[in-house]
Amino acid sequence: MVRLFVLLSIGLLPSCRFLRMAAIQMPGQHDFRWQEYVVVKNDSLNPFHFYDQSLHRQNQFLSQVVRFNQKPGDTAALEAVLRKNKVAAFVMIRKDTILCERYFKDYKPERYFTSFSVAKSFTSTLTGMAIDEGAISSIEDPVVKYIPELEGRKWAEELKIIHLLEHTSGIRFREIPYNPAGRMTALYHRRHQEGSLPHLRFDRKPGTQYEYQDVNTYLLGLLTERAVGKPLQDYLSEKIWKPLGMEADAQWSTDRKGGRVRTFCCLQTKVKDLARFGRLFLHQGNWNGQQVLSKEWVTRATWCDGETDPNKLRPRPFQWQTGGYPDCDFNARGLYDQFIYVHPRTQTTIVMISDKHYFTRVAWREMFRGMVGL
């Protein structure tokens, strides 16, 4: 009976998100096996390369003891921490030199990894680039200017792009994973993402309360795509992948074959291409002398206040997570501990990809912050 249900579920996967969810279960590094995707083209004629440290020195680096939690006794060798917590790939780069690059289990450097919500930081950056070139007037633009399907609902006219960027839209959308009837599941598994638009309503006036929601990034990507007049994967290729000299094409998950990309997640890349994106923000939008993204946008996206508590979690300005004063570090983060971490003062970038279906108790960002002096 169970076998029959599974076979029927697989057969009906294209048409029913409930059965797809039952068969696929929790998101993971192998989702590419069932997801449709489009290709983000790179420029292989001019790739950007980091410098490599010797394998011996990298091994020495992995043996160094790090604190992985707040308790004084929570220390261990870096490699042991990564293995225990099912990290698939880890790269640490300082001043364009790779201090450590390690892949675990059967993962290899040529493997494509999905970083889940790290894609949100790419989507918001494309919005910034669309503003830089004038395709979008301002972060104060009303969203209905680009998505008129939202008109006529309470508070819809007051929704601005800045509210989507900062997760203060007020839209009724509960982030409850694995609920077959939930909006989050519908957005992740449905074949036509636009099918979510008629169901969107508001719980509160936009701009009044922070609430992290996938739907904010979905709408942000949709309006950006409409504003620039081209598929978002092509815009990503034009504005980021080619100028930064990425080493390989990327794959961006779509809701169906020939459909729209899932702008809130599921950009599959090589690990060091994520590091290249981090490097762009490390240098305030400048890439080897070319201002790819305005410095003003980067400053706003990686906002650093005068708060002196280094462990205080800030909301996500422009879909990045900021650490605050005095380090002024920041990171993009995805489901189950996927990271692009940037520490400007030491010019350090860390990319970590995990292969697990649970959250650990490791204070990753605090651990990264403690590692920048190693």
Under DSSP, the state recorded for 261 is: B
Q: Cα–Cα distance between 9 and 189 in angstroms, integer?
A: 14
CB of 316 within 8 A of CB of 333?
Answer: no
pLDDT score for 142: 98
How many angstroms separate the CA atoms of 186 and 18, rounded? 9
Residues of the chain with CATH 1.20.58.710: 136-228
46's tokens: 């001019």
CA pair distance 43, 22, nearest whole angstrom: 39
List of residues 6+ apart from 337 with CB closer than 8 A = 85, 352, 354, 356, 359, 360, 362, 364
Q: Is residue 338 classed exposed, middle or buried when 0-12, 13-18 and 19+ CB atoms within 10 A define those classes?
A: buried
CB distance 268 to 286 below 8 Å: no
Chunked in runs of 10, what are the mean pLDDT values of the chain (374 residues)? 43 47 55 79 87 92 90 88 96 97 93 93 98 97 97 96 95 66 53 80 94 94 97 97 96 89 93 98 97 96 72 70 87 94 97 88 92 88
Q: What is the per-residue pLDDT for 84?
A: 94
> Is the link from the previous residue into 47 a cis peptide, with omega within 30 of 0?
no
What is the spatial distance between Cα 278 and Cα 329, in angstroms, rounded to a whole number?
A: 12
Residue 258 is predicted with a pLDDT of 84
What class does CATH assign to 136-228?
A: mainly alpha
User: What CATH number labels 38-117+231-374?
Assistant: 3.40.710.10
Angle at the Cα of 300 (from 299 to 301), degrees rounded to 5? Answer: 95
Query: Residue 361: its pLDDT value, please?
Result: 85
What does DSSP assign to residue 238?
A: I
Calculate the CA 19 to chain-centre distance. 27
> Do the Cβ atoms of 104 and 91 come closer than 8 Å?
no
Q: How far apart are CA 12 and CA 5, in angstroms?
A: 10
Per-residue model confidence (pLDDT) at position 23: 46
Which pLDDT does position 163 carry in this prediction?
Answer: 96
* Range list for CATH 3.40.710.10 in the chain: 38-117+231-374
Residue 190 in 3-state DSSP? coil
Which residues 6+ apart lie within 8 Å of 93 measured at CB? 50, 99, 275, 279, 348, 349, 350
H-helix or E-strand spanning residue 89: strand 87-94
